[in-house]
Structure 1
């Protein structure tokens, strides 16, 4: 099941007897777990019918014993097992799954990895309840996530502003959600649209000199603008470290290489092929295909890898991070 499927069922009061929420992305695991508690128990019911357990401090036998209890003056009781990746003896859950208590909602939060899917217990959980793997979002999907998140807050965000936030925070969704919440709070009364100016004012990112603008300058081959940004980065190294810049450029040119194989080189065709949530993101890939040949893109990807190695001291003893970026940008543009 997808996150949206699970959230819809929970909203409609349709609960599974057991949930195994696992994966590298904490955000969706936390969201589903919190949403189950919110929708299944009111605040008064939680005092007697919500049990929080931690995998490091308990075992499966204790968890099952708690799951077998009946709720007190409530339709449900909820048992949430956090840090479930520290649990052992998962097979001990098997007997309970044969006839789980209908009034109990048992939630396992397994973070920073997944339970071995070859284990029989994984198939049993999937058959009886809900099995969900929370995967890290690709960088290209972050602006879509930001736009959707702000829409739920009844706030619009301009495409460029969403790109700036994605570039600044990266794919740590919990941190990203926190920064977006702060942004919503700081909006002037009556304003429900976030522009790059708000990002610059409240988050501290320059709307003129950032990785998003550097990428745009490279796509359009604006040599003057690209070099101005490189100089700004070199003059402000603490606020503009090289690694996030290299990561963003590698992500863009890697996707650009894939875009050449899209059956249809239209906005809809490229967006579908790359798995982008909105067609406006495809525009920069279409522009990139016009500006660079496939062979040049392959060479650029190699050069970004070399720049990354140099930034870590491999094969380089003299160049500063600013000089590494300057050489890379020169190679891309010429």
Structure 2
């Protein structure tokens, strides 16, 4: 995020590079940077003649170079944006020749999503000298809640830890999806609001009481009644609560619990740092550790591996996922 801010500030300050090669697994920032360049470099009246949008599936590298070598008409720059450039992965190295001596009046933007070029080859080395290479890396799940807070803060919104965790568990690490939901909330809620689980439930449709976050907490507390209320809800709403997601999240939880048992320093600050979790959730791990000794945690991890396979249909095609989840809970609690 800091790298993106620096790149944007450079452009705002007139430090414009002839090539921006935007690559990586996370498309959110690739789109953000590309859209910023598209709306910033040229004045609106200059774009008709000087801004070109190309798509990787429709062009060759030679076509891109041909467009990039044109001169702007009545403007300081022309902007050439290549979207879905990953479709040119087999021939993208041909761009190295142009990158060695790029047209100084062209701003060429390459959106190379979900992939990255080989850093050992000529194109990458040349781009680092003459342009900007930005790699947009996928965030780990434990980093996304902090990203949500950082996105909301300058917009004068806050979010509770539980609400942020609900979004992560429901939407995963897809930053574009999460941002879309946050933008909807910002339209509905006034500035200065702290987004709560109730806001998430009312406006996005994620249940604040029947979700994987609450299931994990109930298991850690061995609250059998609450566990099976949540599991029954999941069984009635399987599309919104796929078993493969539940098993994956529980596997991560018990793996972290195994790590917790091995810590010498179990102070809240040390636990939060070691497990890479928000301090808000530390007590949840402390309580779960009392109810699940290390030997039991190891057994649960093995059980979750078994049910991960079953949940994907291996050896249990005829068994409803709701029944599998109930069996899983019984195995975990026994």
Short-chain TM bin = 0.7 to 0.9
Are the counterparts in 2 of residues 23 and 110 from structure 1 also a CA contact under 8 Å?
Answer: yes
Report the Cα distance in structure 2 between the residues aligned to 1:42 and 1:267, rounded to whole angstroms: 53
The Cα of 1:162 is off from its aligned counterpart by: 1.2
Which residue in the other structure is 1:103 paired with? 105
Which residue in the other structure is 1:86 paired with? 87
**Of 150, 153, 160, the match for 2:152:** 150
TM-score, normalised by the number of residues in structure 2:
0.87
Are the counterparts in 1 of residues 258 and 297 from structure 2 also a CA contact under 8 Å?
Answer: yes
Report the Cα distance in structure 2 between the residues aligned to 1:261 and 1:41, rounded to whole angstroms: 57
Specify whether residues 207 and 103 from structure 1 end up closer, same or farther in structure 2 by C-alpha distance, changes over 3 A only: same
Q: Which moved more, 1:308-317 or 1:208-217?
A: 308-317
Which residue in the other structure is 1:33 paired with? 34
Which residue in the other structure is 1:320 paired with? 320
Specify whether residues 268 and 45 from structure 1 end up closer, same or farther in structure 2 by C-alpha distance, changes over 3 A only: farther
Which residue in the other structure is 2:308 paired with? 308
Structure 2 residue runs of 5 or longer lacking an equivalent are none
Report the Cα distance in structure 1 between the residues aligned to 2:327 and 2:263, rounded to whole angstroms: 31
Which residue in the other structure is 2:63 paired with? 62
Report the Cα distance in structure 2 between the residues aligned to 1:50 and 1:123, rounded to whole angstroms: 27
> SS of the residue aligned with 1:115?
coil
Please list the CA deviations of residues 232-279 of structure 1 after superposition, one character each: whole Å capped at 9, or x if unmatched: 222333432222212222233334444556675444444444555x54
Report the Cα distance in structure 2 between the residues aligned to 1:263 and 1:16, rounded to whole angstroms: 50
Specify whether residues 85 and 282 from structure 1 end up closer, same or farther in structure 2 by C-alpha distance, changes over 3 A only: farther
Report the Cα distance in structure 2 between the residues aligned to 1:216 and 1:52, rounded to whole angstroms: 49
Q: How does 1:45-194 map to 2 (within 5 A)?
A: 45-87=46-88, 88-187=90-189, 189=190, 192-194=193-195
> SS of the residue aligned with 2:20?
strand
Report the Cα distance in structure 1 between the residues aligned to 2:191 and 2:29, rounded to whole angstroms: 30
Report the Cα distance in structure 1 between the residues aligned to 2:4 and 2:332, rounded to whole angstroms: 39
> SS of the residue aligned with 1:313?
coil
Specify whether residues 252 and 7 from structure 1 end up closer, same or farther in structure 2 by C-alpha distance, changes over 3 A only: farther
Please list the CA deviations of residues 1-44 of structure 1 after superposition, one character each: whole Å capped at 9, or x if unmatched: 94444344344443332122112221121111112223322322
The Cα of 1:81 is off from its aligned counterpart by: 0.9
> SS of the residue aligned with 1:102?
coil
TM-score, normalised by the number of residues in structure 1:
0.87
User: Is 1:230 the counterpart of 2:228 in the alignment?
Assistant: no
Q: Which moved more, 1:20-29 or 1:110-119?
A: 110-119
Specify whether residues 164 and 105 from structure 1 end up closer, same or farther in structure 2 by C-alpha distance, changes over 3 A only: same
Which residue in the other structure is 2:255 paired with? 254
Report the Cα distance in structure 1 between the residues aligned to 2:49 and 2:268, rounded to whole angstroms: 54
Aligned residues: 332
Are the counterparts in 2 of residues 139 and 251 from structure 1 also a CA contact under 8 Å?
Answer: no
Specify whether residues 191 and 124 from structure 1 end up closer, same or farther in structure 2 by C-alpha distance, changes over 3 A only: closer
Structure 1 residue runs of 5 or longer lacking an equivalent are none
